[in-house]
């Protein structure tokens, strides 16, 4: 299977090519801005390194969020453009699932935690959060959770393992609320290599998503100005 995967939903930018049964090329760079300029050259670099042809791709995999509004729009618009140009199906992965899939595998009898909280940074008063059980199955819907409500959101299956770009802040909030929590050694952000591996495991012909919808958990901070009343006097 030939897969192109990329992500720029958070403060990173990454791209990867999967060929056969493994990663053929991969790039990852931390960046708080500039994804619009960096993503396509990064994609071109991994495609060239893997000697891959856009016309031979089986699927294009991309994160659908949640994350930064601008980064999500860039990633999804780029995925749609490549899909349209090459006639390649699309496969969407949530940022929560991508972070969880990149975590180290721990055997159930070695695990000391009873639930997993994936926390993504919003740089606001809330935290993007979703709860999973130790097998990786979701036990809550994804949500934008205020810090004051995070302990209740984490539930009673303790201790909870916390991971993701917002994990350190979430851990402090949980500990302040008396919740038994521990910080995961997993990477803080999703990366395209993990997303490619997820697509290789889960995508099959007929499961394509030709119109991916971004997972926004709250409205954007920027809003359009109110329409002018043309009948009003100046």
pLDDT, tens only, 74-85? 999 999 999 999
Residue 229 has pLDDT above 90, yes or no: no
Q: Tell me whether strands 115-120 and 160-163 are parallel, antiparallel or unpaired.
A: parallel
The helix (H) or strand (E) run that includes residue 120 is strand 115-120
pLDDT at 210 over 80: no
- Is the Cα dihedral 34, 39, 219, 223 positive or negative? positive
- Cα 84 to Cα 89, 100, 131: the distances in Å are 9, 30, 35
Instruction: Give the chain's end-to-end CA distance (angstroms, integer).
Output: 63
For the beta carbon of residue 158, count every other beta carbon within 10 angstroms. 13
Cβ proximity of 147 and 173 under 8 Å: yes
Average pLDDT in the chain: 90
For residues 171 and 166, what is the distance between their CA atoms, to the nearest angstrom?
A: 9
- What is the model's pLDDT at position 224? 45
pLDDT above 60 (res 95): yes
Closest CA to 91 of 215, 216, 205, 217: 205
CA nearest neighbour of 212 among 58, 115, 93, 114: 93
Residue 65 CA to residue 62 CA, distance in Å, equals 9
How many other CB atoms sit within 10 Å of the CB of residue 67? 29
Question: Does 230 score more than 70 pLDDT?
Answer: no
Q: Give the domains, in start order, of the chain with CATH numbers.
A: 2-97+189-202 (3.30.420.40), 106-183 (3.30.420.40)
The residue assigned the tokens 């009873």 is: 114
């Amino acid at each position: 299977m030939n897969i192109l995967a990329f992500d720029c939903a958070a403060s990173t930018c990454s791209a990867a090519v999967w060929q056969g049964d493994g990663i053929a090329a991969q790039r990852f760079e931390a960046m708080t801005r500039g994804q619009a300029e960096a993503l396509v050259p990064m994609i071109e670099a991994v495609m060239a390194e893997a000697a891959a042809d856009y016309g031979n791709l089986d699927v294009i995999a991309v994160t659908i969020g949640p994350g930064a509004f601008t980064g999500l729009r860039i990633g999804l618009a780029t995925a749609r453009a490549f899909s349209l140009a090459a006639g390649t199906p699309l496969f969407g992965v949530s940022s929560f699932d991508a972070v969880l899939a990149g975590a180290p595998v721990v055997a159930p009898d070695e695990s000391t935690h009873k639930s997993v909280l994936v926390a993504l940074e919003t740089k606001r008063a809330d935290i993007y959060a979703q709860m999973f059980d130790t097998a990786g199955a979701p036990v809550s819907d994804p949500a934008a959770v205020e810090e004051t409500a995070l302990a209740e959101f984490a539930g009673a299956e303790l201790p909870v393992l916390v991971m993701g770009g917002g994990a350190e802040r979430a851990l402090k909030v949980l500990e302040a609320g008396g919740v038994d929590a521990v910080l995961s050694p997993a990477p803080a952000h999703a990366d395209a290599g993990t997303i490619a591996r997820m697509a290789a495991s889960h995508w099959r012909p007929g499961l394509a998503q030709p119109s991916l919808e971004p997972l926004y958990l709250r409205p954007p901070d920027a809003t359009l100005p109110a329409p002018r009343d043309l009948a009003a006097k100046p």
